[in-house]
């Protein structure tokens, strides 16, 4: 995340307090909560997934005892370097800890022994995960003369995921998840129900308080409602010395379990928030697996054909792939390994893309659509309007992730396996469904034609020296600083506000680019149309990183790109159009945390020579009340700013551009699937979903008309 460094004068380098809070893109109108230095948008509740009739878990051999547990090393390194095990100690690391415990429960379902996972965010700040699987073994391990439960919870690399007999497929963090979470918890307790008995052990900072003991009563009221015969209960309190923030985010957890519900058909997930003022509950259950996930991704879009599903096992690796083209231009592909979302892809995704491109080209040549070699489509052509999920399941000890937090799969042998299985599946589908095959071919061929048209348009513009070189747009007031990490670009609505911003800015590190009126809706615009639009062309040139195939993030000239629009309906519309452009066509700027929204004040409150500013209605009321409580004489004048142009340069600097005082919202995509659905619904061609959204949220709108 980019840090803003405070500055005492306009001539000093950019300095300010770090922006700690992220802005999430969401469906419903955001609830804004002010903190010391920034405002945070909280994601609203999502729909609750109803659950169909119960499915019986497959019968499998249930032998699971101390002999399945192996130990590799001790626990001490975890507290010294927690980032090596959970990625970081920020909000993401906190939730990685909870996901590890959840994945241990999911592993029981993957092994065929569990049908339910319950997750509860407790009033006291702890989290509880319950599953109705086999229960962690509690018998004694002779070589350690301790219970298997204690070994699993207190030793690194101890668990049933090593050796391949207890879990053939698992999602836990290389088998170290439970012990790592224990080491990073102030307190933790585990209860296991086996043989109609309840066993418990409690821990403090990873160390047992006592030995594993049989107890007469569970800490969980009505445990029998959850676990009938066997199962495991884990409750932990994140250590405040390790995690600066220990408050779990309901929306992040909901997203994680929704993903897992798609990937493990027949498994029920139940999430409860018992914290004061935040009571909530969601339940997820899907029978359709990743095909259901593709349907969800294509929600609010027009599908071009029925979803294609491919599944096969080869060399001990199970490959599943589902894909469906829609009428849009954006690609949305998700990849998973053993229920882990590989957000950075990997060899399995590479194999899928190669198979898709080759299958389409082979079929096009076979039916005579691609007569010449130059008619062939590229991998980029196959991305347009593609919704797909690639899911690989394999033995835990075979997996090679690049990085401990599993962002990218590195197994080189997986690429040809996935490529072969997907290629065979697509070839068969195209032969058996020629109508769908031709629709896909037509979709991809149009994308190829558009690519060539965009390339021609871009080359024509390049010949004029517009997108590269030293020719910057005339409207751009650039900054003096050349280090991108210190530079920021304000994208300002209107020439009037742009003029004030140019005069009020600190020209050492702040650049200004005025935008005149509405810009092109780029949700359904191809690259050639974008480049031809004057305002967007100027923005692309100013940013310096190119667009389309020529994107190079290292050439980005500003590491803070700030959208600054009027605080009215038109301003919010323009803001949404600009966000759409960045999300669809320059997503790396969003992913790197370089995109922000400025928060201009809504009110100027003046009593005599005393002036203050309010950024929300609530803040205005509190400011006015404070003035009256102070019993100061005189009339309080309240001015509602309709636009940025109403502020003189000094006011604009002091309220909206000065790093010491300003409020910025940093744009982050927490849930890519939800973000994609939002942009499709708001900016896409389908009117009914947008109309439904407006009708459903009309009462929440705060319109100033």
d(CA 420, CA 82): 39
Classify each residue of 195-234 as buried b or exposed e, where b means 16 or more C-beta atoms within 10 Å of its C-beta. Answer: eeebbbbbbebbebeeebeeeeebebeebeebbeebbbbb
Is there a contact between 678 and 46 (Cβ–Cβ < 8 Å)?
no
Give all strands (DSSP E) within 516-660, no chain letters: 560-564, 595-598, 603-607, 610-614, 637-640
Q: What sign does the dihedral 499-500-501-503 (CA atoms) show?
A: positive
CA atoms within 13 A on the CB side of 547: 31
Is there a contact between 305 and 439 (Cβ–Cβ < 8 Å)?
yes
> Which residues, other chains included, contact 450 with Cβ-Cβ below 8 Å and sequence gap of 6+?
384, 526, 527, 528
d(CA 214, CA 531): 70
**Residue 593, Ramachandran bin (φ over 0: left; ψ between -120 and 50: alpha; else beta):** left
Site of tokens 């102030």:
186
Task: Indicate which residue of 132, 249, 381, 493 is catalytic.
Answer: 493
Q: What sign does the dihedral 248-251-255-258 (CA atoms) show?
A: positive
- Residue 570 known to be catalytic: yes
Partnered with residue 249 across adjacent β-strands are: none
- Residue 493 known to be catalytic: yes
Q: Which two tokens stand for residue 184?
A: 């990073």
d(CA 168, CA 107): 9
Q: Is 58 exposed, middle or buried (0-12, 13-18, 19+ CB in 10 A)?
A: exposed
d(CA 483, CA 558): 8
Task: Indicate which residue of 566, 575, 671, 673 is catalytic.
Answer: 566
Strands 332-337 and 340-341: what pairing? Answer: antiparallel
Q: Is 558 exposed, middle or buried (0-12, 13-18, 19+ CB in 10 A)?
A: buried
Q: Of 219, 325, 318, 315, which is closest to residue 264 (Cα–Cα)? A: 318
Task: Indicate which residue of 327, 331, 436, 570 is catalytic.
Answer: 570
Sequence-separated contacts (24+) of 27-31 with Cβ below 8 Å: 27/674, 27/677, 27/678, 27/681, 27/693, 28/697, 28/700, 29/697, 29/700, 29/701
Is there a contact between 316 and 395 (Cβ–Cβ < 8 Å)?
yes
Task: Indicate which residue of 327, 331, 568, 619 is catalytic.
Answer: 568
d(CA 126, CA 174): 24
Strands 231-238 and 185-194: what pairing? Answer: antiparallel
Is there a contact between 261 and 253 (Cβ–Cβ < 8 Å)?
no
- Residue 568 known to be catalytic: yes
> Which residues, other chains included, contact 195 with Cβ-Cβ below 8 Å and sequence gap of 6+?
none
- Residue 249 known to be catalytic: no
Number of H helices, E strands in the chain: 19, 27
Q: What sign does the dihedral 367-373-374-380 (CA atoms) show?
A: positive
DSSP string, 485-540: GG-EEEEEESHHHHHHHHHHS-TTTEEEEEE-S----GGG--HHHHHHSHHHHHHH
Q: Which residues are catalytic?
A: 493, 566, 568, 570
């Amino acid at each position: 995340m980019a840090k803003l460094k405070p500055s005492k004068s306009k001539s000093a380098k950019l300095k300010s307090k770090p922006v700690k809070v992220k802005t999430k893109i969401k469906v419903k109108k955001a609830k804004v909560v002010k903190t010391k230095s920034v405002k945070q948008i909280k994601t609203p509740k999502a729909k609750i997934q109803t659950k169909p009739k119960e499915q019986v878990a497959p019968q499998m051999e249930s032998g699971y005892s101390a002999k399945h547990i192996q130990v590799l090393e001790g626990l001490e390194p975890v507290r010294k370097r927690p980032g090596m095990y959970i990625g970081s100690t920020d909000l993401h690391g906190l939730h990685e800890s909870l996901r590890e415990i959840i994945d241990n429960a999911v592993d029981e379902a993957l092994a065929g022994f569990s049908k339910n996972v319950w997750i509860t965010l407790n009033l006291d700040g702890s989290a509880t995960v319950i599953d109705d699987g086999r229960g962690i073994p509690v018998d004694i391990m002779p070589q350690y003369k301790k219970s298997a439960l204690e070994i699993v919870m207190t030793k690194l690399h101890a668990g049933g995921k090593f050796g391949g007999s207890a879990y053939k497929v698992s999602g836990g963090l290389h088998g170290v998840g439970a012990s790592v979470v224990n080491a990073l918890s102030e307190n933790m307790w585990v209860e296991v129900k086996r043989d109609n008995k309840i066993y418990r052990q409690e821990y403090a900072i990873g160390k047992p308080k006592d030995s594993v003991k049989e107890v007469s009563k569970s800490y969980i009221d009505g445990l029998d409602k959850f676990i009938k015969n066997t199962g495991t209960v884990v409750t932990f309190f994140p250590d405040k010395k390790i995690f600066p923030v220990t408050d779990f985010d309901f929306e992040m957890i909901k997203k994680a379990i929704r993903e897992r519900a798609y990937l493990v058909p027949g498994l029920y997930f139940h999430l409860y928030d018992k914290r004061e003022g935040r009571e909530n509950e969601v339940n997820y259950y899907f029978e359709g697996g990743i095909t259901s996930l593709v349907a969800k991704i294509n929600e609010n879009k027009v599908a071009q054909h029925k979803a294609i599903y491919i599944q096969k096992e080869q060399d001990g690796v199970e490959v599943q792939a589902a894909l469906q083209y829609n009428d849009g231009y954006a690609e949305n592909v998700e990849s998973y390994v053993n229920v882990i979302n590989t957000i950075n892809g990997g060899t399995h995704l590479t194999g899928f893309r190669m198979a898709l491109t080759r299958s389409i080209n082979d079929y096009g040549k076979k039916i005579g659509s691609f007569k010449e070699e130059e008619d062939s489509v590229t991998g980029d052509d196959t991305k347009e309007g593609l919704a797909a999920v690639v899911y690989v399941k394999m033995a835990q000890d075979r997996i090679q992730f690049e990085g401990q937090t599993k962002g990218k799969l590195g197994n080189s042998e997986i690429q040809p396996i996935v490529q072969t299985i997907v290629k065979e599946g697509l070839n068969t589908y195209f032969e058996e469904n020629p109508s769908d095959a031709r629709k896909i071919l037509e979709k991809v061929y149009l994308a190829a034609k558009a690519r060539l048209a965009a390339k021609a348009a871009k080359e024509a513009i390049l010949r004029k020296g517009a997108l590269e070189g030293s020719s910057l747009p005339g409207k751009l007031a650039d900054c003096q600083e050349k280090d991108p990490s210190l530079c920021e670009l304000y994208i300002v609505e209107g020439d009037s506000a742009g003029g004030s911003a140019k005069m009020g800015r600190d020209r050492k590190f702040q650049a200004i680019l005025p935008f005149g009126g509405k810009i092109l809706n780029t949700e359904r615009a191809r690259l050639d149309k974008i480049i031809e639009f004057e305002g967007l062309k100027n923005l692309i040139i100013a940013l310096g990183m190119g667009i389309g195939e020529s994107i190079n993030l290292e050439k980005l000239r500003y590491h803070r790109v700030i959208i600054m629009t009027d605080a009215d309906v038109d301003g919010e519309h323009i803001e949404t159009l600009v966000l759409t452009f960045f999300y669809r066509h320059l997503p790396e700027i969003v992913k790197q945390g370089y995109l922000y929204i400025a928060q201009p004040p809504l009110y100027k409150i003046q009593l005599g020579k005393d002036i203050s500013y309010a950024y929300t209605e609530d803040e205005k009321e509190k400011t006015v009340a404070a003035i009256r409580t102070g019993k100061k004489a005189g009339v309080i004048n309240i001015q509602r700013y309709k636009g940025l142009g109403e502020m003189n340069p000094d006011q604009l600097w002091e309220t909206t551009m000065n790093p010491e005082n300003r409020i910025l919202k940093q744009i982050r995509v927490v849930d890519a699937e939800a973000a994609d659905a939002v942009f499709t619904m708001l900016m896409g061609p389908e009117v009914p979903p947008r109309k439904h959204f407006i009708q459903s949220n009309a009462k929440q709108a705060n319109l100033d008309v």
